[in-house]
Chain A
Amino acid sequence: MYRVGIDIGGTFTDVTALDKNNGTLVTHKEPTTPDDPSLGAFSGLKTLLHEQRVGFTDVEEVVHGTTLVSNTIIEKTGATTGLVTTAGTRDVLGIRRSLRFDLFDWHIEEPRPLVPRNRRVEIDERLDADGAVRTPIDRAEVGRAVRTLVVEHDVDSIAVSLLHSYTSSEHEEVVKGVVDETYPSVYVTLSSRVAPIIREFERTSTTVVNGYVLPVIDNYLDRFEQRLRSEGFRGSLYLMTSSGGIVSTETARREPVRLVSSGPAAGVLLSRKIGRAVGAEGVFSFDMGGTTAKGGIVEAGEIPICYEDDIGRTYRFKKGSGYTVSVPLIELSEIGAGGGSIATVDGMGMVNVGPESAGSRPGPVCYGRGGEKPTVTDAALLLGFIDEEGTFGGEIDVDRTKAEKVFDERIATPLDISLERAALEVFEVVTENMSNAFRQHATEKGVDPHELTMIAQGGAGPMTAFRVAATLGIDEIICPLGAGVGSSIGLIEAPKLYESTRTKQHLVSDISLKELTNTFDELHESAKNVLLDAGASTEDLTPEFVLGMRHANQGAEIQVALPVDSTSELSFELLERRFRETYENLYHRPALDHPVEILDFRVKLKEDIEGGEKTIRHAPVDVHRDTREVYFGTRGWVTADVRNRAGIEEDRTVGGPAIVQSEQTTVVVDPESTYTLKNNRIHVRRRVTEQ
């Protein structure tokens, strides 16, 4: 039987199939079909299965990762959405949290609310902070509000976010009841279900994002599943979430906001998998594509999760310039640095790279699709990193002359330096930017980057990794072959995972053990239902109990994991101890004598499927070997050995400079490093410096 991973990216849709009987993987790349992404996904899958002579009936599971949610936000192609909210709070979406995301640019714009002010209707109801009803909700008033939205504003989807709904869903459920009764075809999202957390802006924003994408995702999954079924697929379809787990289509269709950044999440899962396979304690998952670079950390097999981010950033990929979502997400640092990032020289002779990107259209100059501005990919070409003749496969003809001309005019001549120096400066500036961003991220997590093993993915990752690693003092880089389809391989490895959360504030000194246990048990139960829905079996599920805690009135809560298998093992001594340990670990200073409070409860439930090592089965290719002049700066032009995977002997360590080239990736090995092929992975190691 087969497990299939399908990852829809901006340019390509990657498909991977795992033969569960013998642990072999096969992969396929299909151009993405932006108008209806399910077409490309489906035809990619069909092609791969056909090539492998596998029938749809042999596929047990399809795991799907999609950028559809974030694209819907970025391209503003979501549903006409309305908001029902408490009297006095309709401007929550417009006021946001007031923070300016750039102090020096006085031309900034805030992202436009997904629900404009006139589609936000207030109703006169009120809960107190403890969940008690202060003003009861009036069904008739709700009926009028809903009618206004549906009839006057023609909404397809209604988001409901009432004050203090994290304490009680009672009033929000009344709204849902009215909509379901009167307009059953209208979609409803309740904040008490999607994000039962304190802080009205963050909760409302999350609810609105969910409502906005809900009909789009629902339709899409409907079409996709029907296509699969009509071909005879009888297995289960799962969706990848931003926290690195998979959920059933029912859950995905109810809470699509949980899918916002599932693509990058899959990449980190693959890094974790590789880290485990090679016994690396800490992993730096590095993923550089055409527009952005993302860095994530895996420590002792654990992937750090954060509970808030903003998506669809409107301003130079800057944090805070997008739409806030409070859902569990794999924590990543992201900056505007990719193969398509544009290089400029300012009036003072400083080279800047990004965050503006030529993307895939028009793309780098050397792709000859109309790009006129020098990019990182063009720099890599001029440094000799990229296969110009297409000997190693690849579908794009490379136009070197044009890249040279543009680099000469825009970089080399203004700076009065040689062409290769110009290319090197661009390359060094972009790799330094990525190193700086990741160093900051690692510091925030209390991790020293040079102790990590770097795992490089994405179209431009394995090409730039050597220089990023050198800057961060990292000694070993691993580039999975087929790294270009890393995300879809990661999907295959994804466990079933769901997290339930609730805000419920208590001083630790005030809460009873019974109340603590009950709250966790309720959350445990609801997460269990979601996963049982997704076909998991109870005995395979392991829960993790987490409390958001802080000193009373302190600025931010910290996530305190409680290492117990069941709530019967909980004790106040444990809470206290774990709070102190976590606090000290994060802030490098002991916790204080102030009272401690709990702000929220989380239960993370996971089905652990510990799969063994997989082998990628490649289509047989001819051996290619070549040499190329490559420029690394320190030693001038050097001759590098270039070969494809077929031309490399397993387990034999070879010194750089060298390039390992395949259709999808270019691994650059600098003169100071060696490389070894092991299990379809290229290990690049810095040579020990001779004293």
Chain B
Amino acid sequence: MTREGHSTNLIWNRLGSTTEEMYNVASKLAFSSSIRDRADTASSICTVGGEVIGSSKRSTPVLSGGNLYTTRTILADVYPPETLSPGDTIVTNDPWIVGGHLSDVAVVNPVFRDGDVLCLCSSIGHVADIGGEVGGWAIGARDVYEEGIRVPPVKLYDGGTINEDVEQFLRNNVRLEDKVMGDIEALRSANTFGEARVNEVVDDFGIGSFETAIEDITQLSTTRLRRRIAEIDDGTYVSSGDWTIRRPRADPDITFTIRLRLQIDRNAMSFDFTGTSEQVSAGINCPLGNVRGMLSYVVRSMVLSDSNKAESIDDVFQLSVPEGSIINPRRPAPTGGRHVSLFPAAYCAINALGQACPDESIAWPGGGQRIVVNGTDERGEEFIGVNSTIPPWPARANKDGISCQAFPTNVKNLPIEVMELYTPLLVRSNKLVPDTEGAGRFRSGFAQELVVHNPTNTEFAASVTSGAQNPPRGVDGGQSGCPAIVETKNGEKRLPHNGQFSFEPGETIRLRSASGGGFGRPEKREDTAIEQDLDRGLLTPTRAKEVYEYE
């Protein structure tokens, strides 16, 4: 007799592999650069109960956690399994159900076997446009209605036939309608691919083993996490911070607080965000489902870092967030730039969990920066150039941070040569900035600086987002890193931290990402490590002496 755990193991591997294939299908077919280049997409297989039983390991953490919430809500509140038929495709972008802002669209297909819904394939992606403000991450709206079209869970395909009313409704409410529908079709193709694969798995292993496996996967994941939590010292771990967002024009700065009490009691864990600021009338609120998904990623990475066999673990931890707060806003709060509050919530969770699991601890991360420049070049052609500076990882408990690695998202940078090929702009430099590290026994990576020049006689429109202006903090005696900067080369003109400005002929703009916090006291840093940074030209002798007490 084959051991049950063995076939569960093999089926689990197969489902994981299937979601990787779904991910490939979606990213190959998508038009939006956020899916193709910025990896802003997630692929999963879920049970009828909404539990994730397979998910691509490349899914962006911002979205992957959302699959559970998404499928559960759709099945419980809108389309119970008995209302589904083979060939159905449900779409929704409701920020309170899917990815926290309207640009993230979930596409869900039921997988049928012998007339019953066996499981669901779910793909989420950031589409090319969703109406409302341009860009999909803007924070300027006063409510969610200004941010674009909201689609409640609805069948785009009914029994394999497209519902043209829904399609027309979508097409009429977005810019770039072909691209948007192309993105949705790409996500649907991933799901239909997944459906076929799941049926092959059932053919190979038998329906009995499959059903056992999908129950076991959740059970085993949960038990694994609970056992690991039981090994952590019981206690209450608190973490909090204030973040200030500078806004353009006459809009006042917004400062919000995230406050977290993490409680570990034997094999139970709870996150309590009581004391966190109330929702605001700028697009930086983050709906709860997104927060839950992100915490799930943080817990998985820090508590189960050595295991790839963990799926639905959300139910293991309790989450309480006051309703009406910035990370559990009531409708119709605007949520376009929801990462602005989501990431700090994640940072607090990382900080609190780090106190409980010292080896997994990292210092405070800093945010990245994005610039969009558009205009008409000298040949009369319109262009849009998007570029980013990417912050480094903060220092880790036993290691330095890595430079230019976004967290918790995953972003590929744009080569200078590609930027210059498609826009009239000139990139003067793209480099790491010495002395910007969050100092410590272990230091963060270095800030990245991008110097962009307008060599033409034409004025262009530029828009920049730099997130919060607070320096990311150090841990355990480590020093703070530095915040993001936007300025003109000679500093004569003040540029907004977040917002629009005109990029004038001959002007040169300097963008610098934040860095991250340091870990441990800088004077404890090993000499060889300091010498290496000195040798590499990333640390000046003056700073080595002043901060690290290195002679």
Q: CB within 8 A of A350: which of B2, B5, B428, B429?
A: B5
| Contacting residue for A129 out of B396, B412, B417, CB 8 A | B417
Q: What's the Cα separation between A439 and B16 when bound, in Å?
A: 12
Besides A88-B428, A95-B404, 13 new A-B residue pairs in contact (Cβ under 8 A), listed by A number: A89-B416, A95-B390, A95-B431, A99-B410, A100-B405, A100-B406, A118-B535, A429-B10, A443-B21, A443-B24, A505-B421, A553-B422, A587-B29
Q: How far is the CB of B182 from chain A (nearest CB, A)?
A: 8
B58, A98: Cβ atoms closer than 8 Å: no
Q: Which of B73-81, B155-163, B302-310, B331-339 contacts A (4 or more CB under 8 A)?
A: B302-310
Q: Which of A89, A105, A198, A350 contacts B305 (CB 8 A)?
A: A105
Closest to B402 in A: A110
Within 427-473 of A, Cβ neighbours of B (below 8 Å) are at 428-429, 432-433, 436-437, 439-440, 443-444, 471
Q: Which residue of chain A is the closest to B308 with respect to CB atoms? A: A104
**Cβ-defined contact, B430 with A103, below 8 A:** no
List 4 A-B pairs, minimum CB-CB distance, nearest first: A88-B429, A555-B36, A436-B17, A117-B536
Q: When the two chains form their complex, are residues A116 and B535 in contact, meaning their CB atoms are under 8 A apart?
A: yes
Q: How far is the CB of B411 from chain A (nearest CB, A)?
A: 6
**Which of A87, A103, A415 has most chain B Cβ within 10 Å?**
A103
In the complex, the answer to whether A200 meets B416 with C-beta atoms within 8 Å is: yes
Cα A638 to Cα B183 with chains together (Å): 53
A99-B410, A103-B58 are contacts. A198–B417 as well, Cβ < 8 Å?
yes
B235 within 8 A of A: no
Using known A-B contacts A95-B430, A415-B5, A436-B17, determine if residue A104 contacts B10 with beta carbons closer than 8 Å: no
Cα A439 to Cα B197 in complex, Å, equals: 11
User: A232-285: which have CB < 8 Å to B?
Assistant: none
A624 within 8 A of B: no
Is A96 in contact with B58, judged by CB distance below 8 angstroms? no
Q: Which residue of A lies closest to B300 (CB)?
A: A104
CB of B104 within 8 Å of the partner chain: no
Q: Which of B219-227, B250-258, B287-295 contacts A (4 or more CB under 8 A)?
A: B219-227
Asked if A76 is at the interface of the complex by the 8 Å CB criterion, the answer is no
Residues of B within 8 A of A (CB): 2-3, 5-6, 8-10, 12-14, 16-17, 20-21, 24-25, 28-31, 33, 36-37, 39, 57-61, 178, 185, 189, 193, 204, 220, 223-224, 227, 297, 300-302, 305, 307-309, 360, 362, 390, 396, 399, 402-406, 410-413, 415-418, 420-422, 426-432, 448, 451, 535-538
Known: A88-B429, A592-B178. Is A433-B13 also a contact (CB below 8 A)? yes
Report the minimal beta-carbon distance from B291 to chain A, rounded to whole angstroms: 18
Contact with B along A170-207 (1 / 0, CB 8 A): 00000000000000000000000000001111000000
Cβ B14 vs Cβ A436 within 8 A = yes
Quick check: is A408 within 8 A (CB to CB) of the other chain? Answer: no
| Partner pick for A107 among B14, B28, B399, CB 8 A cutoff | B399
Instruction: Tell me the smallest distance from the CB of B187 to a CB of chain A, in Å.
Output: 13
The answer to whether B37 touches A555, judged by C-beta atoms less than 8 angstroms apart, is yes
Interface residues on A, range: 35 or more
* Sample (22) of A-B pairs whose CB atoms are under 8 Å apart: A95-B448, A98-B404, A99-B39, A100-B405, A100-B410, A104-B305, A106-B301, A106-B360, A107-B399, A117-B536, A117-B538, A129-B417, A346-B309, A421-B3, A425-B3, A439-B17, A440-B24, A443-B21, A443-B25, A443-B193, A556-B36, A592-B178
In the complex, which of the residues A88, A116, A117, A348 contacts B430, with contact meaning CB atoms closer than 8 Å?
Answer: A88
Nearest opposing residue in chain A for B419, CB measure: A129
Assess the A95–B413 pair: CB atoms within 8 A: yes
Name the residue among B5, B59, B411 with the largest chain A CB count within 10 angstroms. B5
B396 touches A348 (CB 8 A): no
Q: How far is the CB of A445 from chain B (nearest CB, A)?
A: 11
Closest to A443 in B: B21
Q: Which of A99, A436, A592 has the most CB of B within 10 A?
A: A99
* Closest chain A residue to B4, Cβ basis: A349
**In the complex with contacts A91-B430, A95-B430, A107-B13 CB distance below 8 A:** no
Interface: A368 (CB within 8 A): no
Do A98 and B36 have beta carbons less than 8 Å apart? no
CB < 8 Å: which of B29, B399, B418 contacts A589?
A: B29
Of chain B, the residue at the smallest CB distance from A431 is: B10
Q: Does B413 contact A440, Cβ atoms closer than 8 Å?
A: no
Cβ contact of A98, chosen from B61, B360, B406, cutoff 8 A: B406
Instruction: Name A's B-contacting residues (CB within 8 A).
Output: 87-92, 94-100, 102-110, 116-118, 128-129, 134, 163-164, 166, 198-201, 346-351, 415, 417, 421, 425, 428-429, 432-433, 436-437, 439-440, 443-444, 471, 505, 553-556, 586-589, 592, 633
Which residues from chain B contact A586 at a C-beta distance below 8 Å?
28
Q: Whole-angstrom distance between the alpha carbons of A102 and B300 in the complex?
A: 13
Smallest CB separation, B528 vs chain A (Å)? 14
Is A98 touching B415 in the complex (CB atoms < 8 A)?
A: no
Chain B residues in 8 Å Cβ range of A105:
301, 305
B410 touches A103 (CB 8 A): yes
- Min CB–CB distance B381 → chain A (angstroms): 11
Q: Is the CB of A163 within 8 A of B362?
A: no
Q: A92-B430, A105-B305, A350-B5 are in contact. Are A97 and B412 (CB under 8 A)?
A: yes
Known: A98-B412, A436-B13. A106 touches B302 (CB 8 A): yes
Interchain nearest-CB distance for B217 vs A (Å): 10
CB closest chain-B residue, reference A417: B3
Closest to B31 in A: A554
- A128–B420 Cα gap in the complex (Å)? 8
On chain B, the residues within 8 Å of A429 by CB distance are 9-10, 13
**Cα of A164 to Cα of B417 in the assembled complex, Å:** 7
Task: Let me know if B390 and A98 touch, CB within 8 A.
Answer: yes
* Cβ distance B264 to chain A, nearest Cβ, rounded Å: 19
Q: Once the chains bind, are B301 and A96 in contact (CB under 8 Å)? A: no
Q: How far is the CB of B486 from chain A (nearest CB, A)?
A: 18
Q: Are B20 and A440 closer than 8 Å at their CB atoms?
A: yes
User: Of B5, B20, B415, which one neighbours A349 at CB under 8 angstroms?
Assistant: B5
Say yes or no: A106 contacts B410, CB within 8 Å: no
* Pairwise interchain contact B413-A444, C-beta atoms closer than 8 A: no
Complex Cα spacing A592 to B185, Å = 14
Contact status B28-A587, CB under 8 Å: yes
* The one of A94, A106, A110, A444 that contacts B396, using a Cβ cutoff of 8 Å: A106
Which of chain A's residues have a CB closer than 8 A to the CB of B428?
88
Contact of B33 among A129, A347, A555 (CB under 8 A): A555
| Structural contact, B429 and A89, CB atoms closer than 8 A | yes
Which of B10, B399, B403, B406 interacts with A94 by CB under 8 Å? B403
Task: Note all chain A residues with C-beta closer than 8 A to B406.
Answer: 98, 100
**Residues in chain A near residue B427, CB distance under 8 A:** 88
In the bound assembly, the distance between CA atoms of A104 and B305 in angstroms comes to 6
Question: Nearest chain A CB to B64's CB is how many angstroms away?
Answer: 9
Contacts of B193 in A (CB 8 A): 443
Please, which residues of chain B bring their CB within 8 A of the CB of A201? 415
Provide the bound-state CA to CA distance between A400 and B430, in Å: 59
Chain A residues with Cβ below 8 Å from B422 are: 553
Complex Cα distance A99/B388, Å? 13
Bound together, the chains give a CA A347 to CA B226 distance in angstroms of 12
Give Cα distance in the complex from A350 to B16, angstroms. 15
Residue of A nearest to B8 (CB): A350
Residue B6 contacts which of A89, A91, A98, A425 (CB distance < 8 angstroms)?
A425
Residues of B within 8 A of A134 (CB): 426
